[in-house]
């Protein structure tokens, strides 16, 4: 909401003030969205970052291979599991069993994780992505947070370009549905008509979609977790 409001107020609002265009009727809703976004940021923001802090701490602890270091951070782990919920509690107890602190999982605690969620978590949390292997000098690519941001931006970009190509994002006239695809070729070359009836895919959009798809694919783990376990 806030992102749209900033884009509208910085880039689209002057056009709306100079004369009516397809965005003119969005001014009121943009201010409403901006107010709601700021309110949510003030109310939800602190809780979200508090949750995220405990989540990152738990991830660090669960990656520890030293029993002594794990025991030293036991209080942090207990607090984090209490806040994050039963699934994290189960993962914590599973780590204790792995390190030999416990012989078995406590009664009533079971680590249930589907193959799909495990695969997704391994992807989002990887420190050894295909992208980081391809560019070893870029140390920041080994940061799971950076990898997740690249995944997010790639997915958003693919959805945006795909939607524009299939359904369209531009109106033929004010009040009509957005059923025309923005033609980036026409935008770059400065042609008078910059939209075509959807579905339509121009060359530049095609190249951007292919590029984003390749980047998204390269955020995957360089070595699949399940295959590495089988090798061991």
- Other beta carbons less than 10 A from residue 70's beta carbon: 19
pLDDT digits (tens, 9 = 90+) for 199-226: 989 999 999 999 999 999 999 888 654 4
Residue 174 resides in a domain:
yes
Q: CA triplet 140, 143, 47: central angle to 5 degrees?
A: 125
Return the higher-pLDDT residue of 112 and 134: 134
Return the residue matching tokens 């376990």.
229
103-140 burial code (b ≥16 CB/10 A, e <16) = eeeeeeeeeeeeeeeeeeeebebbeebbbbeeeeeeee
Cα 13 from Cα 25, distance rounded (Å) = 11
Residue 232: per-residue pLDDT: 44
Residue 24 resides in a domain:
no
Q: pLDDT grade, residue 16 (50/70/90)?
A: very low
Return the higher-pLDDT residue of 64 and 214: 214
The helix (run of H) or strand (run of E) holding residue 179 is: strand 178-182
3-state secondary structure of 202: coil
Average pLDDT over residues 226-232: 44
Residue 83 resides in a domain:
no
Cα 225 from Cα 202, distance rounded (Å) = 39
Is pLDDT of 158 > 70?
A: yes
Residue 211 resides in a domain:
yes
Segments forming the whole domain that contains residue 128: 114-223
Residue 150 resides in a domain:
yes
- Report the domain count for the chain: 1
- Taking the model in full, what pTM does it have? 0.57
Residues in the chain, overall count = 232
Residue 27 resides in a domain:
no
Supply φ then ψ for residue 73, to 5 degrees. Answer: -100, 25
- Reading the block at residue 99, the tokens are 């390190």
Residue 17: per-residue pLDDT: 42
Residue 29 resides in a domain:
no
Residue 129 resides in a domain:
yes
Percent of the chain exceeding pLDDT 90 equals 12
Residue 231: per-residue pLDDT: 45
Cα 82 from Cα 90, distance rounded (Å) = 11
């Amino acid at each position: 909401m806030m992102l749209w409001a900033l884009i509208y107020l910085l880039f689209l609002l002057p056009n709306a003030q100079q004369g009516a265009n397809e965005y003119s009727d969005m001014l009121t809703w943009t201010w409403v969205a901006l107010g709601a976004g700021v309110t949510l940021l003030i109310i939800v923001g602190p809780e979200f970052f508090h949750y995220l802090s405990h989540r990152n701490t738990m991830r660090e602890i669960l990656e520890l291979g030293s029993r002594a270091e794990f025991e030293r951070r036991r209080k942090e782990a207990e607090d984090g599991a209490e806040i994050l919920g039963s699934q994290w509690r189960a993962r914590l107890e599973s780590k204790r069993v792995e390190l030999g602190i416990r012989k078995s999982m406590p009664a009533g605690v079971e680590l249930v994780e589907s193959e799909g969620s495990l695969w997704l978590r391994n992807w989002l949390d990887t420190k050894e992505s295909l992208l980081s292997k391809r560019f070893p000098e870029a140390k920041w690519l080994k940061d799971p947070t950076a990898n997740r941001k690249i995944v997010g931006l790639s997915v958003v970009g693919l959805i945006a370009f795909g939607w524009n190509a299939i359904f369209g994002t531009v109106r033929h006239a004010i009040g009509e549905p957005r059923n025309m695809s923005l033609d980036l070729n026409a935008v770059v070359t400065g042609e008078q008509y910059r939209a075509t009836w959807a579905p339509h895919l121009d060359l530049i959009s095609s190249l951007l979609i292919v590029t984003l798809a390749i980047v998204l694919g390269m955020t995957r783990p360089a070595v699949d977790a399940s295959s590495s376990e089988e090798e061991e």
